[in-house]
């Protein structure tokens, strides 16, 4: 009986803590907003070493979630550790699209917003080229951009799908027969909260039942609880997706797998993977169910880069940025790879 009362007490306390999530404020390593175009913002982080690597590194997260996951715990975040390893880091923030942005396409994300951010960095640092790091769907955008321009010296991709129809790609299976045009006509922009619940539904036991049972069990650990709540804030802080770009992503990439077929066009420009000749580091998470390794590791056979490397880390799609073990080794590995190619 006493155990039941204790458990109920933990649940009550847990509910009180969860109710505080809207009050939690993101914290960041020191940074400055240096450029903005519409809702898209570009931040420059303060260096952590006296002489950071001279070539700037632009980090581009997916539009589907907020980039805060990369700096969620500033004292030991992915971006923080890039800075500690001597990187000069810029971060692109796609912002929160609203109904007025429903027609923004993937072409505009790449050739307008991303291009303007790159050009700002080039003009203000007086470098002829920069390094580019793209994550998940943001990696696909960076891959396309690197094919269309000569502004990129080295390209790093993390959990970036290339072949969208491998057998273990759960998202492709779910969206295989979706009438995406009818869906977008119905909803306009795709609600971020809907996407959050969709991703959770792919692993309901682990991301709902198991997770919250552990939260209740650890409720007395204030440091652990604070970390948990900050991750929860990020998880449900998902921006809406513009109807045009989401329809393109599902139809052209997941349903028709046009990227590896050389049939993706941004404006009038065809994205031919064979035209990617710059050095590429392809990073994967071994337990990633959103972008399985099989969807990523085939990149080498489609591109013509003579300097291709790949690394696989033992983690999941999000854990790769916040786990203590991988959180240290991955930024170091990326930084070392870039340093060798940034002379």
Quick: pLDDT tens for 267-317: 999 999 999 999 999 999 999 989 999 999 999 999 999 999 999 999 999
62 touches 138 (CB < 8 A): yes
- pLDDT tens figures, 30-63: 999 999 999 999 999 999 998 888 899 999 999 9
pLDDT confidence tier of residue 4, bands split at 50, 70 and 90 = very low
Multiple choice CATH, 2-338, 3.30.70.260, 2.60.120.380, 3.40.50.1820, 3.30.465.10 = 3.40.50.1820
pLDDT band at 107 (very low <50, low <70, confident <90, very high): very high
Pair of tokens at residue 123: 């003009």
pLDDT (0 to 100) of residue 51: 86
Give the DSSP letter of residue 260: H
Model pLDDT, residue 216 = 66
Per-residue confidence band for 5, with pLDDT thresholds at 50, 70 and 90 = very low
- In the chain, what percentage of residues exceed pLDDT 70? 92
Asked if residues 191 and 328 have their Cβ atoms less than 8 Å apart, the reply is no
Q: Which residues are catalytic?
A: 136
Higher confidence at residue 110 or residue 213? 110
Between the alpha carbon of residue 230 and those of residues 9, 32, 41, the distances in Å are: 22, 22, 22
Give the pLDDT of residue 11: 59
Q: Where are the alpha helices (DSSP H) in 109-210?
A: 115-125, 137-148, 170-175, 180-187, 192-201, 204
Mean pLDDT for the chain overall: 91
Structure tokens at 187: 């909803």
What percentage of the chain carries pLDDT values higher than 90?
A: 71
* pLDDT band, residue 152 (cuts 50/70/90): very high
- Spatial contact of 111 and 266, defined as CB atoms under 8 Å apart: yes
Give pLDDT, residue 162: 97
Question: Could you give the angle at the alpha carbon of 71 between the alpha carbons of 342 and 141, nearest 5°?
Answer: 60
Tell me the pLDDT tens digit for each residue of 200-236: 877 664 555 567 677 767 777 788 788 888 988 999 9
pLDDT of residue 75: 87
**Per-domain residue ranges of the chain:** 2-338
Return the pLDDT at 227.
86
d(C-alpha 133, C-alpha 156), whole Å: 5
> What is the pLDDT at residue 127?
95
DSSP-derived 3-state class of residue 266 = strand
This prediction has a pTM of 0.93
pLDDT digits (tens, 9 = 90+) for 172-197: 888 888 899 998 998 999 999 999 88
């Amino acid at each position: 009986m006493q155990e039941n009362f204790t458990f109920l007490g933990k649940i009550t306390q847990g509910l009180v803590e969860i109710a505080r999530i809207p009050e939690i404020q993101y914290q960041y390593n020191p940074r400055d907003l240096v450029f903005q175009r519409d809702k898209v913002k570009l931040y420059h982080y303060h260096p952590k070493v006296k002489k950071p690597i001279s070539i700037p590194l632009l980090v581009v997260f997916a539009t589907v979630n907020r980039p805060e996951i990369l700096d969620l715990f500033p004292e030991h975040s992915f971006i923080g550790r890039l800075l500690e390893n001597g990187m000069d880091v810029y971060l692109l923030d796609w912002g929160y699209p609203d109904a007025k942005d429903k027609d923004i396409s993937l072409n505009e994300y790449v050739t307008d917003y991303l291009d303007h951010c790159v050009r700002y960095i080039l003009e203000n640092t007086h470098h002829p080229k920069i390094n580019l790091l793209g994550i998940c769907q943001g990696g696909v955008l960076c891959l396309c951009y690197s094919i269309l321009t000569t502004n990129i010296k080295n390209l790093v991709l993390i959990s970036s799908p290339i072949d969208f129809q491998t057998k273990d790609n759960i998202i492709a299976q779910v969206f295989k027969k979706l009438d995406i045009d009818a869906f977008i006509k119905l909803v306009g922009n795709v609600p971020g909260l809907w996407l959050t619940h969709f991703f959770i539904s792919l692993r309901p036991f682990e991301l709902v039942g198991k997770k919250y049972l552990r939260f209740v069990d650890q409720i007395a650990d204030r440091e652990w609880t604070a970390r948990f709540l900050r991750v929860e804030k990020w998880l449900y802080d998902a921006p809406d997706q513009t109807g045009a770009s989401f329809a393109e992503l599902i139809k052209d990439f997941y349903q028709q797998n046009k990227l590896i077929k050389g049939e993706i066009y941004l404006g009038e420009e065809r994205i031919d993977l064979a035209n990617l000749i710059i050095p590429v580091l392809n990073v994967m998470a071994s337990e990633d169910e959103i972008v399985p390794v099989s969807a990523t590791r085939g990149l080498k056979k489609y591109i013509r880069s003579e300097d291709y490397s790949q690394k696989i880390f033992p983690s999941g799609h999000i854990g790769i940025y916040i786990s203590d073990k991988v959180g240290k080794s991955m930024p170091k590995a990326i930084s070392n790879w870039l340093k060798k190619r940034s002379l």
